[in-house]
Structure 1
């Protein structure tokens, strides 16, 4: 027997109420939830869901990571030594390190603030029933025994026991690996980390906080981890090598300077420190962190949450992007594009107006419409209420993925009673029905087709579809994202292959991809035919552009197969079925309205669901990669020439050419200040592998040329006036500055107005140090006569010509 219809005011239609009330929120006979006093008692007892959201490193970790480094320790010891032997101007390098570290901390804290604020934007806000009303609260506000309401698309945020269910189906694939939804009844258990895919319901929270499964999942998924970064690993390799090289060189320099200076041990210590400090590329790691941090801030302004800083670099290096169709290429909604009355060559049982009105009445009876029903609502409205125009809803049955249809039992205007079903044609119609041929033809075009039928069988019968008379085909089309086609063309132009991997039918997925102009979309592959052999699977994955009917396990296998062929793979997705593949991909990209679990495991979250933001991420990654490569060359040129000068000094038993103050001037004007601007400049060079090799191709010859030219000029000056060490040092400083500024001019190419201005400003600043009396006195720079300074200039010009010749040769060989 059918159940009597609820009065109009009690219909579960809250999903579309203007006040946003939950469909089960105010039904009579339901529990009113906890009272305010009960909530306060549980908060006082600590029975609250107080799991912190962690999207980045803590402030303490940021400070520790920037302060306690091996090179800061070396510089700190050298600074302490200078404070003992004096004078203070020789300790300026220590103040520069303090300033640089402070900048690094500030920028990363700023990035952390951006990360944390953006993370809060995408945080779920569940509805609970308290004091007899429905309230929307933060996840952290849920307490033990709260009544939490669920609707389609909601995440189960804490563990609990179902108390109310109206066709409630929950996807537990993240917990069990089983893709099929589970129908829940009162008394069944639900676990955090699962998701509602159909129906509505409510549950009582039984485990909250760190006891809930979601807390364990979040702790594992949202830890501050480091994605694979060629920049980071390359810089670390360079720094390890420099550390091994620095120790013996520094020991030799200490011994030689003490032997050369003899009685003046303070001078020996100062020149020893001056030789050691430039060997340390102290600002390289700092500028890398700053460049990443500023990239996070820039992308944050575009509603792109970068949860791991090196992920910016990772996406710039990606050569294959795996896209989930739904939520990435298409929007969540659908549109009704056609309504075809089924006649079978005979007069139709009902006219089109009756079909439209019946659809509107069905829509009005659906408390939580899925995307297909929402499309019907958008096209035909929600009817005039259960009693409008003589139609009366006796019973409603929401859509279920298990039965593939929804239905209403109606008292029709003519006085008859019948069930109207709307669902999958292949389920509602017998095999071989003529209408199925038309359905197949529409499906081949990537369209979704629903069948509307009428049957005298009540909804509560074992088989309501028995005796169904087909009335109409409702043809729907998924909404394509307006920016999807342009974004795919961008990736194609950058030699990044796009592959669509979806759980939908292969033909449908291929049609969508074809509308967007994806190469290879005309040959979609049903994943049920994928080979089991890993090698064959890798070959198939490499060749094919569109995959349909892909299970979560197969998505993961396809990502692994592509990686086995040497591809750097990014995976986009928004559903819980994408979690495993997102985890395994080199870079995971989640949509902001996607499942919380998906956002937790992804390195990048597009909070506004704009697929068009990905080119901005790629561009930001290129900026970071290209600019860090530039400044790394500058820093390592300094390291190479410092080591070479130290070795030459050791072998020739000469005083080291510089005092720490001279090294500070040189480093600041030829590396420190220029590197800061170059690291943050626009740069759209295509990302390439081989970072370390390319950096060393400039750094080693550049450093050798600079060190050799400087020592030659220094030796010639010493031969002319061996007792005037200040004059000799001044000539060496002038020569090294000119060669280093030439290296900067090479690194800064291609030129624009601000880069030329930067180089000119650095040259002017050095000229002021030489000619302004108090500056030259402070830095102990005094050019004596004309022969030695001009000799230094001539040597610098020769070294510059050699640098230009070598650079031109590398460009011809494609080695730059």
Structure 2
């Protein structure tokens, strides 16, 4: 144990280093600047495609057909606004949940933000503290540092004066101080931290699935686009203006202009909604990931129970007064944990004993102690670790622990606490009984997970009987195991972890192994915790959830931080993830269906154009001008997709996103495309048709498309609630209004005046809708998915 106390920097020295740029200027999380956000949302591939098509349309002089150009502005504006809102939320919450190292300066010692640290600053360390910059140890008292997040080395490293410590590691035991030698981008973990903290939407099944869908669409677009360009420009003999308009009318609906936008909006809105509940999402895909979780591993202390403790009872095992020993142990601990704080509050008058040696608490050993020279060597820790399990005192501790109380043994040792064989022979002196308050919302949260078929495992370093008692009081029933009896063989370990519900006396490395064991059985695992002993498991779990009041190390590695320390916030995170996944699946169905029927229609018209070229038949203009596909998208996709992407959604998340979307959208798109083509063929008057007849044919095809596409929306919106029915009804009514108003018909180039043609188009649309309905029910039976028309609780 080092004894020299280093002096921190003076304010002039700090000011000089700031002026020289020797500061810890690592970018904060969500560091994408406003300029980068604007650029990323304006200069997109889809905007570029639509922009080129807009220029082509404007070159023909038909400005009404360029109305789809509003999509460029809308896509960019909505994306920018939502991402800026999410960025502001993330930045605000990141400041609240930020790790604040204890910096020692001549003006005083106190917590400061990492960006305030300068070169040569003295930073104090205690259990659970994250090392924020590289440095050299100058003071230590049993200091142990875990560098596994950097090196992969599982064992904690003893650190002595002169040893190097690196940013990204954390303290597991002891205390000390180090002097900063590398700050900012020169620090070891700075680059990793910068990459990990960006506002990003990558590494999620949802995003990768959408990428696959876009890749599939690209393969469809290339041949369909080339065929359309050739046939409309070189086979129709309709004049260059009409041919260009029809070509653009074919290409615009093929582009899934809103799919990526809606996904980004859904994620960003999720961040804002969770931010209102003081939930910091450090990695955006965590919202989606937690919705897929089927096992939650919860630490007892700080998760199911509140962090604070109070002394409930002291059971002396000897005749001597032990209050002086307890007071001295509490006073000698520079960084007391919750148990030692409670003892310190109960015995606040230390007798002034001088410490000659100390042993900090370690999760692996479950005890701590201090030697006080002539006053003896005193240890305090787990009774089932320091005592013979068969002894009467151990049995008493077990009975007390069975009530859900925390029991510590105070004992005197025959060896100094820093001896190699410590704690040596321990003579029991007293049982210290501590009481933890169960979180008032813990039971409701556990009930929620049970109802959602999410298994909860309680994994704690406390006595197994005590852990089981707390879990039982919350309605969580199942077998309990002492982790010291867990098998080492991987398959046997996995069997045990799956079979048992509560685990006590779990070491930090065992927590990680238990997470791995569950993952090996195909489970998606979330780990919740707040202590340094939870860090390894938090990091390796599919989703790590840390409490805001927990150690800085646990907050640093977790994807989600509950800043209000409420376990009950987790159901809202799960719900938000389900909203994102379920709604994006619906939206993807709409956009992919549109792309499929647009590509199919373009291919059918194109093949008809080729037959005209080589067999002398009538050439076939594409049925729609750009304004037609623009208004078709308004209420069959655009407005409904926006509403559905942000709407409540409580349905469970399932894997197989791409498979489900493709199997749903492909048949629907084929039916809509074929029906629209048939309707157009029946209405098309050939090369000798007048402009009015051509407009009537286009209108008939559009009517068929609208009726069938609206039924796709009606299917995608299921199971119904009142607002979903209203959404479909309002969308249908909007088209009735457009076709009823003379001004709208004139503006949007519509002519439904041929009653027979319009009736035929409507009939084909209704028939297509019937086919879509049948396919939906048949798909459910084939895929084994329950189909429901109405939502039920």
Same fold by TM (over 0.5)?
A: yes
Structure 1 residue 381: Cα displacement: 4.8
Structure 1 residue 185: Cα displacement: 5.2
Determine if the alignment matches structure 1 residue 671 to structure 2 residue 644: no
Q: 1:794 to 1:91 in 2, by over 3 A?
A: same
Match of 2:442 among 484, 498, 506: 484
Cα deviations by residue, 1:556-588 (Å, 9 ceiling, x for unpaired): 443333333222222333344544443433322
- Whether the 8 Å contact between 1:538 and 1:565 is mirrored in structure 2 is yes
Aligned to 1:11: none
Q: 1:307 to 1:450 in 2, by over 3 A?
A: closer
Match of 1:714 among 665, 680, 686: 680
- Whether the 8 Å contact between 1:111 and 1:294 is mirrored in structure 2 is yes
Q: Distance in 2 between matches of 1:463 and 1:698?
A: 68
Aligned to 1:210: 185
Structure 1 residue 758: Cα displacement: 2.8
Match of 2:741 among 741, 754, 772: 772
Aligned to 2:695: 726
The DSSP-based 3-state class of the residue aligned with 1:336 is: strand
Q: Distance in 2 between matches of 1:797 and 1:74?
A: 34
Structure 1 residue 420: Cα displacement: 7.9
Aligned to 1:563: 519
The DSSP-based 3-state class of the residue aligned with 2:480 is: coil
Q: Which moved more, 1:220-229 or 1:133-142?
A: 220-229
Q: Distance in 2 between matches of 1:633 and 1:178?
A: 46
Determine if the alignment matches structure 1 residue 694 to structure 2 residue 660: yes
- Whether the 8 Å contact between 2:11 and 2:107 is mirrored in structure 1 is no
Q: Distance in 2 between matches of 1:454 and 1:531?
A: 34
Aligned to 1:372: 339
Match of 1:754 among 723, 731, 734: 723
Q: 1:279 to 1:338 in 2, by over 3 A?
A: same
Q: Distance in 2 between matches of 1:140 and 1:262?
A: 68
CA RMSD of aligned residues (A): 3.6
Structure 1 residue 224: Cα displacement: 5.6
Match of 1:400 among 334, 338, 360: 360
Structure 1 residue 154: Cα displacement: 3.2
Match of 2:648 among 654, 668, 682: 682
Determine if the alignment matches structure 1 residue 475 to structure 2 residue 433: yes
The DSSP-based 3-state class of the residue aligned with 1:524 is: strand
Structure 1 residue 693: Cα displacement: 3.0
Q: Distance in 2 between matches of 1:747 and 1:428?
A: 62
Aligned to 2:292: 317
Structure 1 residue 165: Cα displacement: 4.4
Match of 1:281 among 256, 267, 281: 256
Q: Which moved more, 1:152-161 or 1:84-93?
A: 152-161
Structure 1 residue 663: Cα displacement: 0.5
Q: Distance in 2 between matches of 1:474 and 1:219?
A: 45
Q: Which moved more, 1:291-300 or 1:576-585?
A: 576-585
Determine if the alignment matches structure 1 residue 645 to structure 2 residue 608: no
Determine if the alignment matches structure 1 residue 518 to structure 2 residue 476: yes
Q: Distance in 1 between matches of 2:41 and 2:781?
A: 40
- Whether the 8 Å contact between 2:389 and 2:395 is mirrored in structure 1 is no
Match of 2:378 among 421, 424, 440: 421
The DSSP-based 3-state class of the residue aligned with 2:684 is: helix
Aligned to 1:14: none
Q: 1:228 to 1:542 in 2, by over 3 A?
A: farther
Q: 1:422 to 1:274 in 2, by over 3 A?
A: same
Q: Distance in 1 between matches of 2:173 and 2:508?
A: 19
The DSSP-based 3-state class of the residue aligned with 1:633 is: helix
- Whether the 8 Å contact between 2:131 and 2:169 is mirrored in structure 1 is yes
Determine if the alignment matches structure 1 residue 740 to structure 2 residue 709: yes
Q: Distance in 2 between matches of 1:221 and 1:266?
A: 51
Structure 1 residue 797: Cα displacement: 2.4
Structure 1 residue 60: Cα displacement: 5.1
Aligned to 2:233: 258
Determine if the alignment matches structure 1 residue 791 to structure 2 residue 760: yes
The DSSP-based 3-state class of the residue aligned with 1:261 is: coil
Aligned to 2:314: 339
Cα deviations by residue, 1:242-271 (Å, 9 ceiling, x for unpaired): 111111112222222234431502211110
Q: Distance in 2 between matches of 1:575 and 1:328?
A: 10
- Whether the 8 Å contact between 1:538 and 1:564 is mirrored in structure 2 is yes
Q: Distance in 2 between matches of 1:331 and 1:38?
A: 42
- Whether the 8 Å contact between 2:486 and 2:493 is mirrored in structure 1 is no
Aligned to 1:240: 215
Structure 1 residue 276: Cα displacement: 1.3
Q: 1:732 to 1:38 in 2, by over 3 A?
A: same
The DSSP-based 3-state class of the residue aligned with 2:308 is: strand
- Whether the 8 Å contact between 2:103 and 2:111 is mirrored in structure 1 is yes
The DSSP-based 3-state class of the residue aligned with 1:760 is: helix
Q: Distance in 2 between matches of 1:643 and 1:436?
A: 76
**Unaligned runs of at least 5 residues, structure 2:** 610-619, 788-793
Q: Distance in 2 between matches of 1:231 and 1:205?
A: 42
Structure 1 residue 680: Cα displacement: 0.7
Determine if the alignment matches structure 1 residue 92 to structure 2 residue 63: no
Q: Distance in 2 between matches of 1:244 and 1:672?
A: 24
Q: Distance in 2 between matches of 1:45 and 1:682?
A: 52
Cα deviations by residue, 1:180-215 (Å, 9 ceiling, x for unpaired): 766655545444334445554433222222333342
Cα deviations by residue, 1:721-765 (Å, 9 ceiling, x for unpaired): 932211221222223222222222222233344333333333333
Determine if the alignment matches structure 1 residue 79 to structure 2 residue 45: no
